[in-house]
Structure 1
Amino acid sequence: MRAALILLLALTACAPKPKPLRVCADPNNLPFSNQAGEGFENRLVALVARDLGRPVEYTWWAQRRGYVRNTLRDDRCDLWPGVATQVEMLATTRPYYRSTYVFVTRADRRIAIDSLDDPDLRRLTIGVQMIGDDSSNTPPTHALARRGIVQNVRGYMLYGDYSKPNPPAAIVEAVDRGEVDVAVAWGPLAGYFAGKAQHPLTLTPVRPWLDGPQWPMVFDVSMGVRREDTELRERLDEVLERRAPEIRALLAEYRVPTVSLP
């Protein structure tokens, strides 16, 4: 009996360890991810890794221009959660949620905006998320500019002051403090930080959901892998389908607004 136990322990010790699931993520980007593992993408990765029987190994990298080149393409990691489905530079999994840009207002101000064509947008102070390069700014920014709504718009950098926690929260905090009348922000970010505001905030999906052929307000979100990593993508697809109810509960916990296309 003792000999059999020793043999079992020896075989266990010699068994190959599972290959880590190497993940790229931003260390300061709640509600999506941070280095403390508090984002919903951190928790989603943990769920997926458990299902695959693999430990997680993070590469932390701020999501700036050149992110894919410096992470997946440089073989620092194999998986990027939270990318737009069918992004050209990667292979993407089945979507695990669909969200929308939203109008964010203070409930006590009783401002009712649900359309980019609302005439009140010409007199209200509007906060928008800016990336920094006019040719790659957020869809609502372009949509407002296309309507000539420019002078009353205030930009809040999507990346913000990276020396401080949660830099993208600034646009929601501006609504909360009354610095702007209405903000147009990406739904997951808006929902999460609205839940932490001092005043009740109202979130309303932006209409029209497609503003011309190139400016959608609604996006499917997937996990991204290198194009050649077919096996990993297929296994991730299986897990995302199998764990869909748990993923929906996780998104609801983080107040992520999810929508269906018309």
Structure 2
Amino acid sequence: MILLFPRNPWPFHRATLALALALACATALPASARELRVCADPNNLPFSNSAGEGFENRIVAIVARDLGATVSYTWWAQRRGFLRHTILAGRCDLVAGLPVGIELLRPTRPYYRSTYVVVSRPNGPTIASLDDPSLARLTVGVQLAGLDAASTPPAQALARRGLTDTVRGYLLTGDYAQANPPARIVEAVARGEVDLALAWGPMAGYFAARATPRLRVDPVRPALDGPKGPMVFDIAMAVRREDEPLRREVGAALERHRTEINAILADYSVPRLDRPAEAAAP
């Protein structure tokens, strides 16, 4: 048998060693990690913030873990044009915490149902319904999405009843230089600037529970104030209409972790009108 050796064995050994190291590194490195691209507001507790402290941040993290993905956020203030500039512009693939029924997007099955609420001080005045006669004598805070005084369901309901003289509006966007602008309406109740406020439940419930003393939170009645006046909304995550596979994946993950999600919502004092134990197919 004739054995053939290169005249200079060292290049051969170096090439063999380099190949072995490359193969070892290739097997040690994880496969390309999946990315879950999410658009959210960086300054909007209890829903989300850039520090990941909101309940939507925590629920998104559960979904990402279930899908074997890492979360990549695009931060954008949640005001008019939010969807147009974010998910519809291709900056992300998923938005959490949207009401079911937005035509431009496809929602998952809802993971909770909440309502607008009446926020009042423990020993202060409150109302039984939007038809309570005492409303005419009370200073009432309402949320405004813009300069339109009838831009949220409770504001519209009061306007239909002619109750505008004692209404004080608080912009949802507010002063973005401050933390969590929507919270100003709850702080106004705590400070006595208004007698009570009509506000979206998840936000109001969170800040009311953390006020000193704790503020009272009751669902707005009636829950359906005419054909265009719902006070109750099912909340879901949403994708672009063509992203049906992602919608199904996210929906299935939400269902698998329903117990964890219910616990998170309870931690954040989210008022709920659904039964936390109920489950639905994705």
TM-score when scaled to structure 2? 0.87
Largest Rg, 1 or 2: 2
3-state DSSP of counterpart to 2:87: coil
3-state DSSP of counterpart to 2:193: coil
Match of 1:187 among 193, 201, 204: 201
* Pairs aligned (count): 257
Q: Which residue pairs with 2:183 in the alignment? A: 169
Moved over 3 A (4+): 3-9
Counterpart-to-counterpart distance in 2, 1:70 and 1:135: 25
Q: Does 1:197 align with 2:211?
A: yes
Q: How does 1:108-119 map to 2 (within 5 A)?
A: 108-109=123-124, 111-119=125-133
Q: Which residue pairs with 1:244 in the alignment? A: 258
Counterpart-to-counterpart distance in 1, 2:162 and 2:206: 30
Match of 1:127 among 141, 148, 166: 141
Match of 1:37 among 31, 40, 52: 52
User: Which amino acid is the alignment partner of residue 236 of structure 2?
Assistant: S
Match of 1:27 among 36, 39, 42: 42
Gap runs ≥5 in structure 1: none
Q: Which residue pairs with 1:79 in the alignment? A: 94
Deviations 1:53-79, CA, capped at 9 Å, x for gaps: 000000000012111111112111000
Counterpart-to-counterpart distance in 1, 2:98 and 2:226: 22
User: Which amino acid is the alignment partner of residue 174 of structure 2?
Assistant: G
CA contact (8 A) 1:114 1:204 kept: no
Counterpart-to-counterpart distance in 1, 2:101 and 2:24: 47
CA contact (8 A) 1:102 1:206 kept: yes
3-state DSSP of counterpart to 1:170: helix
Counterpart-to-counterpart distance in 2, 1:223 and 1:177: 35
Counterpart-to-counterpart distance in 2, 1:161 and 1:213: 33
Match of 2:165 among 140, 151, 155: 151
Counterpart-to-counterpart distance in 2, 1:17 and 1:90: 28
After superposing the two structures, state which structure 1 stretch, 133-142 or 23-32, moved more: 133-142
Counterpart-to-counterpart distance in 2, 1:260 and 1:144: 26
User: Which amino acid is the alignment partner of residue 196 of structure 1?
Assistant: R
What is the deviation of 1:88?
A: 0.8
User: Which amino acid is the alignment partner of residue 66 of structure 1?
Assistant: G
3-state DSSP of counterpart to 2:176: coil
3-state DSSP of counterpart to 1:22: strand
Q: Which residue pairs with 2:65 in the alignment? A: 50
Match of 1:257 among 271, 276, 279: 271
Counterpart-to-counterpart distance in 2, 1:73 and 1:190: 29
